[in-house]
Amino acid sequence: MTQWPTSEGSRWLETDGGPFLLTPVSQLHQWTGYNGDYDLVIDATDAGHSECYAFPGRNVAVLGDEPLRTTIMESRSLIVQWIYSNSEEEIRRYASEVDLDSIVWREGPVLECDGRIAVMDAAIASFLAPRFRHLGRRR
């Protein structure tokens, strides 16, 4: 996973071609990536899943089927993916200005979490991904 520094000290994350995986850090060690679990991602993509989805019986969510550059805005508890923009500054400005209370949210995947959530390349086994980003604080 490639990490790009930004002007605000955050990082843009990129995968080696797969989508991003979200999972509680405490359960990260269970993800085997291309050694087995990534087959679930391939099957879901082949079945037409293109938005954020979860796997029944697994405490993970996959951020769609695209390897989009992604950053975490911890101050707003947002995961931001670069779908289209002329600049990084433009993305950050829009993400910072959006009124989260005005958005009509639809129910999506729910993860049970006991602390932090890891964001990593879904194709990589957790033991091969020593660097990942997390969202949230330990309680």
Residue 87 in tokens: 């600049």
Rounded to an integer, what distance in angstroms lies between the CA atom of residue 29 and that of residue 23? 10
In tens digits, the chain (139 residues) has pLDDT values of 544 444 443 678 888 888 888 888 888 888 888 888 888 888 887 776 667 777 777 888 888 778 888 888 877 878 888 888 898 888 888 888 888 889 887 777 777 887 888 888 888 887 676 555 554 443 3
> Which of these, 69, 67, 71, lies nearest to 7 by C-alpha position?
71
Which CA distances in Å does 122 have to 28, 31, 36, 81?
A: 11, 8, 11, 15
Domain positions in the chain:
2-100+110-135
